[in-house]
């Protein structure tokens, strides 16, 4: 019997627990509406998926994964956002301007400023170190690059549905509570798929696909060097 590759094992690690948790959550809850409720099944699975993606990153790259620490850092920021860490401990939220222009405690303003600065550093490193290799892989129609693109598109789509009733009310359009609730359910589902795609993208990285083949380590190191913005060694 052929042994499953690292990539296949990581895909199973990302997918099977999520399917199991979703199935248990759907059949366990007496009220199906709780399935999408904040902090319940779908949102919980989203957070778990993001932490699983971080584990996959280091399963693929090992200690070398710290060289591109901005990738797991971004996944961690997404997870913290899913858990509402940006507004859980403050009145308005760390990402709201009124937190910094109002009378919020100095410690809150300092913490928020550091969080925003850290987020900007993470984004800057991704743009300067990872965007070009990703674009090259996208032009070669690599699965992991396509998965990242789809995850990005779906995340943007989900954010347009977040608080749909409030957003439409600002332009004079009123929607029913039922439509607003359904939009929220769709948003949570789309985000779940987005995080699953990010996990799959990491599982399908060239390093994951070639890890079971010692003869291809040189090629794997070349891809990692390219992803880090360095010239591959020959």
- Higher pLDDT among residues 180 and 136, named by residue: 136
CB 37 within 8 A of CB 57: no
Q: Give the pLDDT confidence score for residue 97 in this predicted structure.
A: 64
Residue 126 DSSP symbol: I
pLDDT above 70 for 84 = yes
Q: Give the residue among 129, 138, 150 at the shortest CA–CA distance from 195.
A: 150
Q: Give the pLDDT confidence score for residue 230 in this predicted structure.
A: 45
pLDDT above 50 for 220 = no
Q: Give the residue among 115, 43, 107 at the shortest CA–CA distance from 73.
A: 115
Instruction: Report, as an integer, the average pLDDT of 197-219.
Output: 64
pLDDT above 60 for 207 = no
Q: How far apart are CA 93 and CA 224, in angstroms?
A: 37
Per-residue pLDDT tens digits for 12-67: 999 999 999 999 888 877 676 778 877 788 999 999 999 999 999 999 988 989 99
Residue 2 tokens read as 């052929």
Per-residue pLDDT tens digits for 113-132: 888 899 999 999 999 999 99
Q: Give the pLDDT confidence score for residue 50 in this predicted structure.
A: 96
Angstrom CA distances, 155 to 40, 70, 75, 125, 183, stand at 20, 19, 13, 20, 14
Query: Could you tell me which residues come within 8 angstroms of residue 70 by beta carbon, excluding any fewer than 6 positions away?
Result: 121, 122, 125, 126, 129, 130
Q: Give the pLDDT confidence score for residue 39 in this predicted structure.
A: 73
Q: Give the pLDDT confidence score for residue 38 in this predicted structure.
A: 76
Instruction: Report, as an integer, the average pLDDT of 171-186.
Output: 80
What angle separates helix 131-139 from helix 143-161, to the nearest 10 degrees? 110
**pTM of model > 0.95:** no
């Amino acid at each position: 019997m052929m042994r499953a590759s690292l990539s296949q094992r990581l895909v199973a690690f990302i997918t099977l627990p999520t399917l199991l948790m979703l199935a248990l959550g759907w059949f366990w809850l007496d009220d199906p509406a709780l399935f999408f409720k904040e902090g319940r099944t779908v949102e919980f699975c989203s957070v778990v998926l993001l932490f699983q993606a971080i584990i996959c990153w280091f399963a693929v790259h090992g200690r070398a994964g710290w060289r591109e620490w901005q990738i797991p850092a971004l996944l961690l920021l997404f997870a913290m956002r899913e858990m509402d860490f940006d507004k859980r401990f403050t009145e308005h939220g760390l990402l709201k301007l009124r937190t910094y222009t109002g009378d919020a405690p100095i410690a809150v303003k300092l913490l928020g400023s550091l969080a925003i600065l850290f987020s900007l550093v993470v984004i800057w490193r991704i743009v300067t170190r990872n965007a070009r290799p990703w674009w090259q892989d996208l032009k070669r129609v690599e699965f992991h690059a396509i998965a990242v693109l789809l995850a990005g598109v779906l995340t943007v789509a989900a954010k347009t549905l977040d608080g749909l009733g409030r957003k439409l009310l600002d332009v004079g359009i009123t929607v029913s509570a039922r439509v607003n609730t359904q939009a929220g359910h769709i948003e949570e589902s789309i985000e779940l798929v987005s995080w699953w795609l990010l996990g799959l993208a990491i599982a399908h990285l060239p390093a994951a696909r070639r890890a079971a083949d010692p003869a291809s380590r040189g090629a794997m190191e070349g891809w990692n060097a390219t992803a880090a913005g360095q010239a591959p060694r020959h």
